[in-house]
Chains A and B, each alone.
Chain A
């Protein structure tokens, strides 16, 4: 019941003053599916890339978090081959940290920050996390290559 009202408000806000490097738009009139793009943050291997994401908003939003996944392939310790993201904010408490005050914009900002600062201590891709910790140059090289191959269209 709160969903429609809240999402249209969120959408109006993000359209009027979009946060740096983030773009969000609804894919259907019922506001169930959204598409988002994140511009790779500067001075990271994701720089110059544009990453597309899909957000599915559940019926009982904002009491449950939306599910978010990357459509664009990305080389990152916390994002797997299918685009699933390991982020506490998109899981329900007590395991996660979702709160109804966060909102789609907040999540997208958090995901962009995750690109800036990967969290290798809570990895989804163990090998990439090991590489991130022990062989940064190699991680950067591969992440940059992935960005060039998949995210620069």
Chain B
């Protein structure tokens, strides 16, 4: 390796020689934050360097041709030096974007927000200033979250609401992009105030009724599925944006039991009072004296499993004609139990192969090989 090549590798570590004669080089040249892919050939007979010009370098084509012609007396290091100089002169203004103003704006907005609204519950900004998280406690101590992402490329609408814990609006987004954090925050707080009746109603439902759906209700969810008795449940959907709107009520369950409830709703719905306590209104509507109590935590513990450990996972029971499940799937991550009778019947019904005195097929649980003695 000659000195020049060593010099080059020290100065431009991302460019490497491609052949052992050191006449061809390849790699990247970083100028003003932009990487240019290079492929350089030294033509020995002409004593010139030749540069393969592809798309990002196309704009400097004329300069590169000039440079190539005048490269007779130079070596690879001086060639790269002059190339770098040419490109850096041409690109400083257009590519060296200055985000200082944007970042100053973000920080001053953020500081101002914190100073102005001293009662903000929690407020944080990520280290690279790209994400702002705000949480707000309303009058009933419910926590509401807001996440704002920062787009430094758009000064006029630098703050964009990325996620929030409020219910969605059917007709478009709740928040508009803005260059003021305060505007967004004020909109957030005023929306929460406007939604108080909705949040209170949902909370009282969650508190009193046996909620089947959603599993973990959030402030975003506008519906609840409430268990009315063992078989019937009711889906109630509120319109958070209009308190005067009568909630939509639907019933799930066996037809004969549901019809009774439907009839009551049809008769009593005219007496619904908007803005009143939703629980009272619902009881009046359904002609109930109280809602079925929530399942106690204790009850939840002995929840029925579809198929308990040790039970046959075809008939979902332990004893079949007084026999216990005796076949276990050999796959270590499955290890399900089967009654011989159940497994046999299944393998026969899918035409499993018989060899000697056993049936060979797939485990109905994990689909790995399983065999059943005849």
Among B109-117, B131-139, B249-257, B277-285, the stretch that binds chain A is: B249-257
Which residues of the partner chain A approach B333 to less than 8 Å between Cβ atoms?
none
**Contact between B214 and A101, CB atoms less than 8 A apart:** no
Report the minimal beta-carbon distance from B307 to chain A, rounded to whole angstroms.
8
Cross-chain contact of B346 among A5, A13, A26, A63 (Cβ < 8 A)? A63
**Contact between A16 and B316, CB atoms less than 8 A apart:** no
Report the minimal beta-carbon distance from B167 to chain A, rounded to whole angstroms.
12
Task: Report Cα–Cα, A68/B183, bound state, in Å.
Answer: 53
Which residues of the partner chain A approach B313 to less than 8 Å between Cβ atoms?
100-101
Which residues of the partner chain A approach B254 to less than 8 Å between Cβ atoms?
25-27, 35
Which residues of the partner chain B approach A16 to less than 8 Å between Cβ atoms?
303-304
Task: Report Cα–Cα, A21/B215, bound state, in Å.
Answer: 11
Residue count of chain A within 8 Å CB distance of chain B: 37
Task: Report Cα–Cα, A93/B364, bound state, in Å.
Answer: 11
**Contact between B213 and A21, CB atoms less than 8 A apart:** yes
Known pairs A25-B254, A37-B253; A103 contacts B306 (CB<8 A): yes
**Contact between B304 and A100, CB atoms less than 8 A apart:** no
**Contact between B231 and A10, CB atoms less than 8 A apart:** no
Task: Report Cα–Cα, A21/B253, bound state, in Å.
Answer: 12
Q: Which chain B residue lies CB-closest to A3?
A: B315
**Contact between B253 and A9, CB atoms less than 8 A apart:** no
Which residues of the partner chain B approach A93 to less than 8 Å between Cβ atoms?
350
Residues of chain B from 189 to 218 with CB closer than 8 A to chain A in the complex:
212-215
**Contact between B304 and A63, CB atoms less than 8 A apart:** no
Report the minimal beta-carbon distance from A1 to chain B, rounded to whole angstroms.
8
Known pairs A37-B252, A39-B235; A18 contacts B316 (CB<8 A): no
**Contact between A18 and B304, CB atoms less than 8 A apart:** no
Which residues of the partner chain B approach A35 to less than 8 Å between Cβ atoms?
254-255
B149 within 8 A of A: no
**Contact between B303 and A10, CB atoms less than 8 A apart:** no
Q: Which chain B residue lies CB-closest to A42?
A: B223
Cross-chain contact of A48 among B230, B248, B307 (Cβ < 8 A)? B248
B276 within 8 A of A: no
Task: Report Cα–Cα, A39/B252, bound state, in Å.
Answer: 9
Report the minimal beta-carbon distance from B222 to chain A, rounded to whole angstroms.
9
B30 within 8 A of A: no
Which residues of the partner chain B approach A5 to less than 8 Å between Cβ atoms?
315-317, 320
Which residues of the partner chain B approach A149 to less than 8 Å between Cβ atoms?
none
Q: Which chain B residue lies CB-closest to A63?
A: B349
Would you call the interface of chain B mostly helix, strand, loop, or mixed? loop
Q: Which chain A residue lies CB-closest to B317?
A: A5
Report the minimal beta-carbon distance from B292 to chain A, rounded to whole angstroms.
13
B225 within 8 A of A: yes
**Contact between A15 and B230, CB atoms less than 8 A apart:** yes
Cross-chain contact of A20 among B214, B303, B307, B336 (Cβ < 8 A)? B214
Residues of chain A from 55 to 94 with CB closer than 8 A to chain B in the complex:
60, 62-64, 92-94
**Contact between A13 and B253, CB atoms less than 8 A apart:** no
A105 within 8 A of B: yes
Task: Report Cα–Cα, A1/B315, bound state, in Å.
Answer: 9
Residues of chain B from 289 to 309 with CB closer than 8 A to chain A in the complex:
303-307
Task: Report Cα–Cα, A1/B350, bound state, in Å.
Answer: 19
**Contact between B314 and A2, CB atoms less than 8 A apart:** yes
Cross-chain contact of A62 among B214, B303, B305, B314 (Cβ < 8 A)? B314
Cross-chain contact of A101 among B225, B303, B364 (Cβ < 8 A)? B364
Task: Report Cα–Cα, A101/B338, bound state, in Å.
Answer: 11
A125 within 8 A of B: no
Which residues of the partner chain B approach A64 to less than 8 Å between Cβ atoms?
349
Q: Which chain A residue lies CB-closest to B237?
A: A48
A129 within 8 A of B: no
**Contact between A6 and B315, CB atoms less than 8 A apart:** yes
Other than A12-B304, A13-B305, A39-B235, give 17 A-B pairs with Cβ distance below 8 A: A1-B321, A2-B314, A2-B315, A2-B320, A5-B315, A6-B314, A6-B316, A9-B304, A10-B316, A16-B304, A18-B233, A25-B254, A63-B345, A63-B346, A94-B350, A100-B342, A101-B336
Q: List 11 A-B contacts (CB under 8 A).
A: A2-B315, A5-B316, A12-B304, A16-B304, A18-B233, A25-B231, A64-B349, A93-B350, A100-B346, A105-B306, A153-B250
**Chain B residues proximal to chain A, CB less than 8 Å:** 212-215, 225, 230-231, 233, 235, 237, 248, 250, 252-255, 303-307, 313-317, 320-321, 336, 342, 345-346, 349-350, 364-365
Q: Which 3 A-B pairs have the closest CB atoms?
A: A2-B315, A23-B252, A25-B254
**Chain A residues proximal to chain B, CB less than 8 Å:** 1-2, 5-6, 9-10, 12-13, 15-18, 20-21, 23, 25-27, 35, 37, 39, 48, 50, 60, 62-64, 92-94, 99-101, 103, 105, 152-153
